[in-house]
Amino acid sequence: MMREAGIFAAGAAGALWLVRQSVRQGARAARQQRGLYSAADVSQVEPPLVLHGEVVKGFGRGGKLLGCPTANIDEKAVGNALESFGTGVYFGWAKLDGQVYKMVTSIGWNPYFKNDKKTVEPHILHDFKGDFYGKMLSIVVCAKIRPELNFDSMEALVEAIDNDKAIAVKALDDKRYEPLKAKLS
């Protein structure tokens, strides 16, 4: 009788664990469907992508529409480096005027805006007082946060961007990404 009670208790505990896992996976899937990924979804890029180029004017929507100004690298400098590189939202390091900063970047077609070309649009996670068009920027892409997604609304896109920035800030505190700054010299 005692053994049967133990088996029942173990079975009930296992069933509870399965229910909790299912709820967690369901919640995670729901967040991801809305474009809200987490640090647990991050995957390191091997080898890291390094790009250098002049900061040029982009589409004019990063800072104005999205509250996320971008330092677009001249597409001539990027060349064909993006051809085989997967689309998505990534984080890494940016070097501007000799200073290294945390950054998050979109690489892809930006389906919400229906771009006709693949772009790299870094957002440096620092509050700058002005723009820096014409300056040289180097970035190293360390890890992927999420795939490129389309959104039903501007609000959903902005919410996902804010989430991406928060993940990047926290993830780059991880010491394993620190050595990748050296690729910017």
Catalytic residue, candidates 75, 121, 148, 155? 121
Asked if pLDDT for residue 141 goes beyond 90, the answer is yes
Q: Is the separation of the CB atoms in 54 and 135 below 8 Å? A: yes
Helix (H) or strand (E) holding 88: strand 88-96
Domain co-membership, 90 together with 119: yes
Give pLDDT, residue 2. Answer: 53
Number of structural domains in the chain:
2
Range of the domain at 45: 39-184
Q: Is 121 one of the annotated active-site residues of the chain?
A: yes
- Bridge-based pairing state of the strands 72-73 and 99-108: unpaired
Domain co-membership, 81 together with 126: yes
Q: Is 0.75 topped by the overall pTM?
A: yes
Which value, to the nearest 10 degrees, does the dihedral of the CA atoms of residues 89, 134, 127, 180 take? 50
Domain co-membership, 91 together with 139: yes
For residues 61 and 145, what is the distance between their CA atoms, to the nearest angstrom?
A: 21
pLDDT tens digits, one per residue of 98-117: 999 999 999 999 888 888 88
3-state secondary structure at position 164: helix
Q: What is the mean pLDDT of residues 38-53?
A: 91
Tokens 């039903």 belong to 152
Give pLDDT, residue 56. Answer: 93
For residues 107 and 86, what is the distance between their CA atoms, to the nearest angstrom?
A: 8
Give pLDDT, residue 63. Answer: 77
Domain co-membership, 1 together with 27: yes
